[in-house]
Structure 1
Amino acid sequence: MAALACERVWVDRARFNDAECKYYESLSKGTANNSQCTLVSEIAKAREHIKNSLEKMDGIATLAASPVSSDAMDRIATLEKENNDLRKIVEDLKSLCLESQKRITVLEENIAGKSNGSVATAPVVIAAIAKKADADDDDDGVDLFASDSEDESAEAARIREERLAAYAAKKSKKPALIAKSSLVLDVKPWDDETDLKLMEVEIRKITTDGLLWGASKFVPVAFGIKKLSISCVVEDDKVSIDWLTEEIEKQEDYVQSVDVAAFNKI
């Protein structure tokens, strides 16, 4: 036995071969079973899909075969009627717009033609009137209605003279436009001890035709010194701005200088 143990001999090889064959057979059977299960599931899914498709087709056929309700038909008829009415209204509006455009075009052409015609025929009318006047002057025949025409021409001349006189009187009564200016004057005192209220009183004593004093206020300048800001309205033809500033600067006890802060035409 010791000698056999040392030999390199596989005594149970047949048993191991049988076991290996059985193992691979079991593996092949398991793979076949798995494939069979997968195929069966796919077939079941296909059958379910076909069944669902057939049921949907049956439902569609049923809906197509079933009659539409009367309410739906009434609503469809109402919508069709409203659609036809709207189309008719749109067509009427379109035709009205086209007709209006045509009328406007015709009116514009007529106005343009009349304007051109009046301009073109004015010299012709003037020449005809002059020719008729010359013919009347050169006519030596007897006019049985001369007295009536003379009376009518005298009456027309009198009416014309009256109208001209009335127009001239109305125009003379119309007031002429008076040009005025609005000023804001800044009057600066000598120092902070100057009595600004008394200075304003002295400035307002300057009066003349066409000068109207307005509101005033005291505006701080610096270091406690204030200036007088006073507004006025002057008529340009009667009061000069230079003259007014010179008159204010004559108040030498109060006024150091005068500046025009704002100037507007009225």
Structure 2
Amino acid sequence: MEIITDIAALRTRLQREPSIALVPTMGNLHEGHLSLVRIAQQNAGCTVVSIFVNRLQFAPHEDFDRYPRTQANDCQLLQKLGVDIVFLPDEKTLYPVSQEFQLLLPPLADTLEGAFRPGFFRGVAIVVLKLFNIVQPQLALFGKKDYQQLHIVRNMVQQLNLPIDIMTGETVRSEDGLALSSRNSYLSGVERQQASHLFRTLLQIKQAIERGHRDFRSLEESAESDLTSHGWQVDYIALQQRETLLPAHASDTDLVILGAARLGQIRLIDNLEISG
């Protein structure tokens, strides 16, 4: 496995690779990331995993400075998997000057996560586009756990005519259903025991719809009330059309239920696809 920190060196190294898969990460790797790496390895001759904590997608009050950085352990995990290249740039490498050029994202980027984290998706789109330009992969891997992010990246690739196939990996969960996330490490012991309640709440909505319940708003309100009664601060519980991520109607069949809520100081997100 090669660890490369310089853009020019990475481009030179990749010139001899006929097929490249990119797995963008912010590090602190867990099985969710590793499952994406395995998919990449099955579909390309060379797998590049990037590790970079992107300041542009953090608001001033968020956890950029304390976000878990575990590069040595991350590289050990990737070496065990036989990853070809780890791209490990520092901030000056990806942002050599102030990022004055910005991207204008569609209105969807200001809903759901975007409504509670203004500018988040712009920061994501900029760093992903930079990585695409640097690595020039034929395919890139993103997990369904960050469902709206996946949707926006996929649309960006389509609308900018980028020659990249976006592949997805299913959300990887703990035994109790909690979606694996780097920020789960922030949870206290008591909070960790309660954290899977968000998944169970979304699962109840999924099961109700599959039984024929079509009053989506009442399901959302009931879920919000239940989480609040258990000490959560709910940002949103939203049933959306899977293809567009617009609010779902009773006649829609391909759905996704997305949720975001705080347990103490820790904000968790999750989602479940539904065929109703």
In the superposition, the TM-score normalised over structure 1's length comes to 0.14
The structure with more helix, counted as a fraction of residues: 1
The structure with more strand, counted as a fraction of residues: 2
In the superposition, the TM-score normalised over structure 2's length comes to 0.14
Based on CA coordinates, which of the two structures has the bigger radius of gyration? Answer: 1
